[in-house]
Structure 1
Amino acid sequence: MLAEEFGTASNIKSRVNRLSVLSAITSTQQRLKLYTKVPPNGLVIYCGEIITSEGKERKINIDFEPFKPINTSLYLCDNKFHTEALSELLESDQKFGFIIMDGNGALFGTLSGNTRDVVHKFSVDLPKKHGRGGQSALRFARLREEKRHNYVRKVAELAVQNFITNDKVNVAGIILAGSADFKNDLNQSDMFDNRLQSKVIKVVDVSYGGENGFNQAIELAAETLGNVKFIQEKKLIGKYFEEISQDSGRVCYGVDDTLKALELGAAETLIVYENLDITRWVLKASTGSEVILHTSKAQEANREMFMDKETGQEMEIIDQSSFLEWLAEHYKDFGASLEFVSDRSGEGNQFVKGFGGIGAVLRYKVNFEQLADYESEDEFYDGDDRPEIPSADVLTAGPLNSANKDIQEGYQTAATRALGPPAQSSTKLLRGPSKLRNVAMIHPLPNPTNPAPSTAFTSTPTPTSAAPTPTPTPTKLKSLISFMIAHETPGALVDALTVFSRHGLNLTTIVSRPGQIRPWQYIFFVECERVRGVHDEDVVERVLGELEGKTSCCRDLGSWLDRLGR
């Protein structure tokens, strides 16, 4: 074909156009010699000359195999590159399953975009209805029903093999088609896997079986398939709005809160408007640190956002990219799933206009107002990576009074929270500052003055009853100890708290917060108390010694009340 086109191009009157076309055809022929056969997904070649921004001519030659099969054969000679066939590959990557059943056999196929594939097919010989048989008519009818039943069972078993991978359905929806009642029998049969039955989006009647019936089923289900994404979008945003109406705290919206949820590992599903127009800037401050900004087109005109607070000059631009592309490339790093929505539905339009077109459904409740206090550099660490003394305006959690509660219930609650990964643990355990009231996994040694162990804590003072003779309260010594735990070893928290129990130290307050200088490190401040005279003076030193093997950056900060000036 290219040889014929070469001869045709030789008749072009314009000398410049003639030479350009002949050069492109020659380059394409040379590039095709590198391929011994056509790749499985087809071959795309773009060749021609373009004008650069500097006004110079540049010849380009691009050849590649598409990531999905193409079923279009196209040759064009024009003043631009045509990418329509490739754009169709990007429109929909959902795969739909088809089951075509008739009296002669069954076919299993998939449809993804404009590409259809026959996964499996088999033929069957079923007895027809007849009026003969005499006394054996009932026996013939039973044999016929038995063979039909076995046929439906075989189709149901093959459907599981073809459309379920690793115990998950690998198609977005299933279309059942056929010329008889087989499709309805399969859909209503108990032998049809429930996971596949829930994915059936339409049942259609076709006049043929095999591949002809497959093509007819695609045409009849075209409208339904086009609305599948629309329906899924409405369900997704409907779930988002339902969480808001229930005030569960398991949703967030806006760029800032969504990014915080991603960094915490709390975002389960990211919902983003497909045409979100936000730019991500990576800037360099005068101190050498990087500053990340996210701006809309209107905000870019405000250059004050790009000013360095130290020098008053604009910061150096290191990188400028689309925030939408950045999310598409990095969302998996945060353990989240990404869903794009449009504004064509009522729910989608409300999400874009009312919530800025970006939000997330969270795994657990996150207090974003509390996290806003920690956007600056870590106050608890200096240059030697050792914890500093916390300030009173940050450590807002005061001591808690002990109360005798159900020990076993508290033990199970605290152990479950501590052993879970950060993305699944309660924010009261790994985010802060906040109080942990269920730390009953600590079993303090018996107190000689009060044999009942105090293992669960509450902020409500324990009521006291009037006694004729007041019992003198033993003097208690309090200590404040800090340590760090990495998110890869959440079980280390249980081991660390057990050290306090082993040395007879009762826990009164626990405060936690995420680290910033050390990524994915969590800082814990633990206040403990002991009765004077019961334990020797170096008990804190021995506790620190054991904590060094289980945690990092252990330090005795003295008395909590002294540090807060209370």
Structure 2
Amino acid sequence: QARFQRLTEEAAQRWYGKVSEMMNKIYLEDFPVEGLVIGGPALSKTEFLESKEIDYRLREKVIGVFDVGYTGKVGIRELLERAQDKLADFELVKERVLMQKFMEHLGKDTGLATYGEKQVKDALEKAAVEIVLISEDVDRVSMEIKCDGCDYSTTESVRTKDYNEFFKKLSDRNCPQCNESKLFIEKESDLITELNELAENTGARLEVISTAHEDGAMLYGAFGGIAAILRYKLYDGY
């Protein structure tokens, strides 16, 4: 009996070691994460966390440990259900930290914060953005507008609810460059999708900020729902 128990424990430790090595590679090198939730039956999850092979940097990212009775996809769904409150709190904390970082740069006038659709797009096109902050309440359509008679091109955005009215007025506008031909919409997309594509193309990341907390409400109310933390100053003496 004792020998069987010892063999079982040794097999479990070998398994914990293999999983730890995979976690270290995947979550620190391949797909770095900001937080982890751990689930498992009875004492197994605690024994796993005590494994010496788990990198200390991952151990510091554990935000919750939960009892889970199943394995496979069913077990993952159960873990996510049990961890949803912790995950929600973690997201809110992360969002508030980002907003506070943005406000700190803005308050100290470091030149590493900007806001407004035009300003953020300009910074993205210059690959100067580290993080785009966009409110979950931003509901706008971004359009590429061209002239059918010359090479004029511009981009504009309107609130989704105002799109139909904008489209009607556009048909009555003459091109500001040739002043003869009419303008038309070449391409359109929702603003969040457009900003996310720009961010991905320049190595930045986009974070959607909830309005459920004070900092998120301020992003939408005071800054138009669009802001960015920059990698470097765009203008000397900013």
Superposition TM-score, scaled by structure 2 size = 0.72
Are the aligned partners of 1:202 and 1:221 in contact in 2 as well (CA < 8 Å)?
Answer: yes
CA distance in 2, matches of 1:152, 1:243: 47
Are the aligned partners of 1:286 and 1:311 in contact in 2 as well (CA < 8 Å)?
Answer: no
1:317 equivalent in alignment to 2:191: no
**Cα offset, 1:254, TM superposition:** 0.6
**Cα offset, 1:185, TM superposition:** 4.8
Higher helix share: 2
**Cα offset, 1:355, TM superposition:** 1.1
Q: Which amino acid aligns with 1:179?
A: A
Report SS of the residue matched to 1:232. Answer: helix
Are the aligned partners of 1:163 and 1:169 in contact in 2 as well (CA < 8 Å)?
Answer: no
Indicate how the Cα distance of structure 1 residues 364 and 356 shifts in structure 2: closer, same or farther if over 3 A, else same.
Answer: same
Q: Which amino acid aligns with 2:201?
A: D
Report SS of the residue matched to 2:5. Answer: coil
**Cα offset, 1:288, TM superposition:** 1.8
CA distance in 1, matches of 2:70, 2:178: 76
| 2:22 alignment partner in structure 1 | 161
Q: Which amino acid aligns with 1:246?
A: K
Given candidates 254, 265, 269, the residue that maps to 2:127 is 265
Indicate how the Cα distance of structure 1 residues 323 and 183 shifts in structure 2: closer, same or farther if over 3 A, else same.
Answer: closer
Indicate how the Cα distance of structure 1 residues 168 and 291 shifts in structure 2: closer, same or farther if over 3 A, else same.
Answer: same
Given candidates 224, 228, 236, the residue that maps to 1:356 is 224
**Cα offset, 1:343, TM superposition:** 1.7
**Cα offset, 1:348, TM superposition:** 1.3
Given candidates 12, 16, 36, the residue that maps to 1:173 is 36
Residues 265-305 of structure 1, C-alpha deviation per residue, up to 9 Å, x if partnerless?
1112222223423333333358722321323346975969x
| 2:139 alignment partner in structure 1 | 277
The number of residues matched between the two structures is 227
CA distance in 2, matches of 1:355, 1:183: 44
| 2:56 alignment partner in structure 1 | 194
| 1:253 alignment partner in structure 2 | 115
CA distance in 2, matches of 1:223, 1:277: 27
Residues 59-101 of structure 1, C-alpha deviation per residue, up to 9 Å, x if partnerless?
xxxxxxxxxxxxxxxxxxxxxxxxxxxxxxxxxxxxxxxxxxx
Indicate how the Cα distance of structure 1 residues 365 and 248 shifts in structure 2: closer, same or farther if over 3 A, else same.
Answer: same
CA distance in 1, matches of 2:128, 2:81: 42
Are the aligned partners of 1:284 and 1:316 in contact in 2 as well (CA < 8 Å)?
Answer: yes
CA distance in 2, matches of 1:369, 1:283: 34
**Cα offset, 1:350, TM superposition:** 1.0
Indicate how the Cα distance of structure 1 residues 230 and 313 shifts in structure 2: closer, same or farther if over 3 A, else same.
Answer: farther
User: Comparing 354-363 with 286-295, which one deviates more in the overlay?
Assistant: 286-295
CA distance in 1, matches of 2:193, 2:70: 44
CA distance in 2, matches of 1:260, 1:217: 42
Given candidates 334, 342, 358, the residue that maps to 2:210 is 342
CA distance in 2, matches of 1:245, 1:160: 43
Unaligned runs of 5+ in 1: 1-124, 128-143, 371-566
1:126 equivalent in alignment to 2:10: no
Indicate how the Cα distance of structure 1 residues 156 and 288 shifts in structure 2: closer, same or farther if over 3 A, else same.
Answer: same
**Cα offset, 1:312, TM superposition:** 4.8
User: Bigger relative contact order, structure 1 or 2, given CA contacts below 8 A and separation 6+?
Assistant: 2
CA distance in 2, matches of 1:283, 1:203: 52
